[in-house]
Structure formats: structure tokens, C-alpha cells
């Protein structure tokens, strides 16, 4: 149980185009999902918190107009990188929260590697 999927697993796009990445919780409902980005050989940096039915909360320094997040249902959150540029090339990972009371465990998706040419 507690499986999170991401689609696509990798994508190459040209500068100026937009890319949508999907994050799904397959066997549980997740009212909260998180989006992270990871540069090569570096750690994960939280980009935003995605809440079902409400606007996402972005971390300081993350452009909300560039990284559009939609949490349309209890099992799906999407991240759209708008007008992508080469510096947006990165590994994007989502996580979904499951649990009741106390500490919650986050389940991570397998990641999406974005390359912008």
C-alpha cells in the first residue's frame, strides 16, 4: 500500500514550452501533497505544499506563476512548469501524506526528470 506515482518519468522539452507533471496517490487519499525539486547530487528542496481544494502554499523564492500547482482531487496533484527554461531542468519529486494523528509519513513518487533544451 501507500504507492505514489508520477507521470511522466522523464520529459524533454524546448525552451518556452510548458510541461505538466502529475502526482497520484494510487491506493490512499491524500489531502496534502508536496512538490520538491532536486538538482544533481544535491538534496531535495521543498517548492510548495499542495492542498486539495485550495491554493498551494509556495516556499520563499519559488515563483507561483511559473510553477502552477493544482490539487484537483484527493488522489491527484499536478505541477505545471510554464515557459520552461534550461535552468528549470531538474528532478521533480512529489510526496503524499497518509496517516491519522501524531506524526504523518510521507510517501514519495519516483520523480520526474525534466530537461529543457
Partner 1 sequence: SQQGEEDPQALSIQEGENATMNCSYKTSINNLQWYRQNSGRGLVHLILIRSNEREKHSGRLRVTLDTSKKSSSLLITASRAADTASYFCATARNTGFQKLVFGTGTRLLVSP
Secondary structure element (H or E) that encloses residue 57, with its range? strand 57-58
**Grid cell for residue 9:** 518519468
The only residue of 35, 78, 90, 111 in contact with partner 1, by rule CB under 8 A: 111
Tell me the window of 13-21, 62-70, 75-83, 87-95 that interacts with partner 1 (CB under 8 A). 87-95
Closest CA to 16 of 66, 83, 67, 114: 83
Pick 15 or 104: Cβ nearer partner 1: 104
Pick 9 or 15: Cβ nearer partner 1: 9
The terminus-to-terminus CA distance of the chain in angstroms comes to 37
Rounded Cα gap, residues 98 and 32, in angstroms: 8
* Binding of residue 25 to partner 1 (CB under 8 A): no
The only residue of 1, 14, 102, 117 in contact with partner 1, by rule CB under 8 A: 102
Tell me the window of 14-22, 45-53, 68-76, 77-85 that interacts with partner 1 (CB under 8 A). 45-53
Tell me the window of 63-71, 72-80, 81-89, 91-99 that interacts with partner 1 (CB under 8 A). 91-99
Closest CA to 28 of 97, 105, 94: 97
Amino acid at each position: 500500500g501507500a504507492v505514489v506515482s508520477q507521470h511522466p518519468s522523464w520529459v524533454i522539452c524546448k525552451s518556452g514550452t510548458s510541461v505538466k507533471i502529475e502526482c497520484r496517490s494510487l491506493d490512499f487519499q491524500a489531502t496534502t501533497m508536496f512538490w520538491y525539486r532536486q538538482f544533481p547530487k544535491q538534496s531535495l528542496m521543498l517548492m510548495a505544499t499542495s492542498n486539495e481544494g485550495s491554493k498551494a502554499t509556495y516556499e520563499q523564492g519559488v515563483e507561483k506563476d511559473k510553477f502552477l500547482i493544482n490539487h484537483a482531487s484527493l488522489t491527484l496533484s499536478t505541477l505545471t512548469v510554464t515557459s520552461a527554461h534550461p535552468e528549470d531542468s531538474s528532478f521533480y519529486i512529489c510526496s503524499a501524506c497518509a496517516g491519522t494523528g501524531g506524526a504523518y509519513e510521507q510517501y514519495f513518487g519516483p520523480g520526474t526528470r525534466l530537461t529543457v533544451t
